[in-house]
């Protein structure tokens, strides 16, 4: 590992310089190749005088600094915190050096634009001295300087900051305290023997990455539908004391995880082309951003499929429904869920993806809850409860394809937005929203199913608002921008046909 130690203090005889020396000694004891750079020794103009920093020629010292940064695997910045942030000369160093073409680049792709991180093969850590107590700086002042460098500067260039060490208050410190800090920083250098971040930090980052890949925002909808089915079968909240309920929920959670991860794997090319990814569109980006490898994702898919099989087997043992019905239902649901992107079905490539998601996340899981808790699959009750739920899901899943349309088209994915265009997607979303509201109101009016109340009529108002938003917001071309307002309106619309009957059945 090549380490570049950058002293950002404008004086080379400062306590920061002593800390840098201690870090270097520790790193060399760990067998790490360390090079040093003192910003104070560099001859350069810290001000940008041209319209773009890349238009201003670099001085020789900055060119050498650029070469050192390119060579390094790990960057270590040692500097004082002045007025909440870094010294002016260090800021000028970043202003001049972290410019387009070196730290990042801009691009125009299709109908979108963005920036590419050019230093994403590097890590960094910050060692910061200050005269304010670190606890005050962190919890009261909220670390403005640390966040600016970590996120807005290094992060924008793709450099991942693995560790931040705040030391202070320096002004009030004793000789013994400074000696302790010097030894602490020496230990930070020695720790490079096992890599630029601690085992705890690595574990946290791995857990966060997998949580991101699993996309937990998709699970509540399935849980709501499943619980509605279970409550409809039992008729009371005693369902939550049933082992069959929890084992069935475990099966669905693992199946959802397998679906999400397999979609991530198969949709890699589409996601890479997508410049308008959001919380519910464009994938989790863990493959695109290199946070997980294809091998790791394959292992994850195998693990959650094993979990789904284990919970499914347990359901067959303790479930209250017909064994044949429970096994058949789990099999059909698994085929439909995984077949969203996985061959040979690849339903999303055949303009059936939206319907597939709506069916599996409404009637499909609702039937599971109903049958696992003793109901019969051919009882009309779960189908009637699931119909407006299914229709209410279609607007959001259809609109989710709008920002992805350009990338999906390149990948030959035939979503509704690709096949029928923006107007077709808007028409389907509006029609299914209105139809869901009308059926829900009809069920309440005729007292067809339990759980509904007069509040369901408000779903009609929400549907009309959604139609108005569709007419107003979708005066755009597919892929031209994110549609977060529409997504929020369509996702919250599902509440009327999920939460209302769920609460009514409790």
Q: How far apart are CA 171 and CA 414, in angstroms?
A: 65
Burial class (CB in 10 A: 0-12, 13-18, 19+), 197: buried
Superfamily per CATH, domain 2-197: Flavodoxin domain (3.40.50.360)
> CB under 8 Å to 74, separation ≥6 — which residues?
1, 2, 3, 4, 122, 123, 124, 125, 192, 196
- The tokens describing 310, both together, are 């284990």
Q: Dihedrals φ, ψ of 10, to 5°? A: -70, -5
Look up the pTM and report it: 0.78
Q: Which pLDDT does position 315 carry in this prediction?
A: 98
Adjacent-strand bridge partners of 126: 77, 164
> CB under 8 Å to 57, separation ≥6 — which residues?
none
- The tokens describing 385, both together, are 């409860």
Q: How far apart are CA 303 and CA 290, in angstroms?
A: 21
Q: How far apart are CA 472 and CA 271, in angstroms?
A: 27
Q: Which pLDDT does position 481 carry in this prediction?
A: 52
Q: Which pLDDT does position 327 carry in this prediction?
A: 98
Q: Which pLDDT does position 371 carry in this prediction?
A: 98
What are the C-alpha distances in Å from 399 to residues 67, 355, 458, 480? 47, 13, 22, 13
Q: How far apart are CA 157 and CA 186, in angstroms?
A: 28
| Three-point CA angle 415, 418, 421, nearest 5° | 125
Task: HSE, CB side, 13 Å, CA atoms: give it for residue 322.
Answer: 9
Domain borders along the chain are: 2-197, 209-505
Q: Which pLDDT tens digits describe the chain residue by residue (506 residues)? A: 999 999 999 999 999 999 999 999 999 999 999 999 999 999 999 999 999 999 999 999 999 999 999 999 999 999 999 999 999 999 999 999 999 999 999 876 544 456 789 999 999 999 999 999 999 999 999 999 999 999 999 999 999 999 999 999 999 999 999 999 999 999 999 999 999 987 888 888 899 999 999 999 889 999 999 999 999 999 988 999 999 999 999 999 999 999 999 999 998 877 777 665 666 666 788 888 788 999 999 999 999 999 999 999 999 999 999 999 999 999 999 999 999 999 999 999 999 999 999 999 999 999 999 999 999 999 999 999 999 999 999 999 999 888 888 888 888 889 999 999 988 999 999 999 999 999 999 999 999 999 999 999 999 999 999 999 888 765 544 444 567 788 889 999 999 999 999 999 98
Q: How far apart are CA 232 and CA 225, in angstroms?
A: 11
Q: How far apart are CA 413 and CA 67, in angstroms?
A: 43
Q: How far apart are CA 104 and CA 94, in angstroms?
A: 13
Q: Which pLDDT does position 414 carry in this prediction?
A: 92
Q: Which pLDDT does position 474 carry in this prediction?
A: 58
- The tokens describing 200, both together, are 């705890």
Q: How far apart are CA 448 and CA 451, in angstroms?
A: 10
């Amino acid at each position: 590992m090549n380490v570049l130690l950058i002293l950002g203090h404008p004086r080379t005889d400062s306590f920061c310089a002593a800390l840098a020396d201690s870090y270097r000694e520790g790193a060399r004891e760990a067998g790490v190749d360390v090079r040093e750079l003192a910003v104070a020794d560099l001859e350069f103009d810290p001000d940008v005088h041209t319209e773009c920093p890349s238009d201003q020629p670099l001085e020789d010292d900055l060119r050498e600094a650029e070469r050192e940064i390119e060579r390094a695997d790990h960057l270590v910045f040692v500097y004082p915190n002045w007025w909440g942030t870094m010294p002016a000369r260090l800021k000028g160093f970043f202003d001049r050096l972290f410019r387009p073409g070196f730290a990042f680049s801009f691009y125009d792709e299709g109908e979108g634009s963005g920036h590419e991180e050019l230093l994403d093969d590097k890590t960094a850590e910050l060692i910061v001295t200050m005269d304010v107590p670190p606890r005050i700086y962190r919890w009261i002042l909220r670390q403005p300087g640390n966040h600016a460098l970590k996120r807005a500067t290094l992060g924008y260039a793709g450099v991942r900051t693995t560790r931040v060490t705040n030391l202070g208050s320096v002004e009030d410190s004793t000789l013994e305290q400074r000696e302790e800090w010097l030894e602490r920083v020496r230990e930070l250098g020695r720790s490079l023997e096992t890599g630029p971040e601690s085992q705890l930090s690595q574990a946290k980052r791995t857990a966060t990455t997998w949580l991101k890949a699993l996309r937990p925002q998709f699970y509540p909808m399935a849980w709501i539908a499943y619980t509605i089915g279970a409550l409809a079968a039992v008729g009371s909240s005693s369902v939550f004391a049933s082992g069959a309920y929890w084992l069935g929920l475990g099966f669905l959670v693992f199946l959802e995880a397998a679906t999400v991860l397999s979609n991530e794997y198969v949709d890699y090319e589409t996601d890479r082309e997508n410049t308008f990814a959001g919380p519910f569109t464009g994938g989790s980006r863990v493959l695109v951003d290199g946070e997980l490898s294809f091998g790791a994702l394959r292992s994850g898919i195998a693990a959650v499929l094993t979990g789904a099989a284990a919970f499914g087997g347990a359901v067959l043992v303790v479930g209250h429904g017909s064994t044949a019905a429970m096994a058949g239902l789990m099999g059909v649901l698994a085929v439909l869920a995984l077949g969203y992107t996985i061959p040979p079905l690849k339903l999303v490539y055949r303009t059936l993806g939206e319907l597939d998601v709506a069916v599996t996340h409404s009637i499909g899981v609702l039937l599971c809850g109903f049958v696992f808790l003793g109901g019969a699959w051919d009882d009309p009750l779960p189908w009637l409860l699931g119909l407006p739920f299914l229709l209410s899901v279609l607007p959001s899943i259809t609109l989710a394809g709008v920002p992805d349309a350009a990338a999906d088209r390149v990948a030959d994915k035939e979503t509704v937005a690709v096949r029928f265009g923006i107007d077709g997607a808007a028409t389907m979303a509006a029609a299914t929203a209105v139809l869901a509201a009308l059926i829900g109101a009809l069920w309440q009016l005729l007292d067809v199913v339990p759980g509904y109340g007069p509040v369901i009529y408000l779903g009609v108002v929400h549907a009309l608002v959604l139609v108005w938003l569709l007419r107003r917001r979708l005066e755009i071309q597919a892929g031209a921008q994110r549609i977060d307002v529409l997504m929020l309106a369509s996702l919250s619309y599902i509440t009327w046909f999920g939460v209302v009957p769920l609460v009514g059945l409790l």
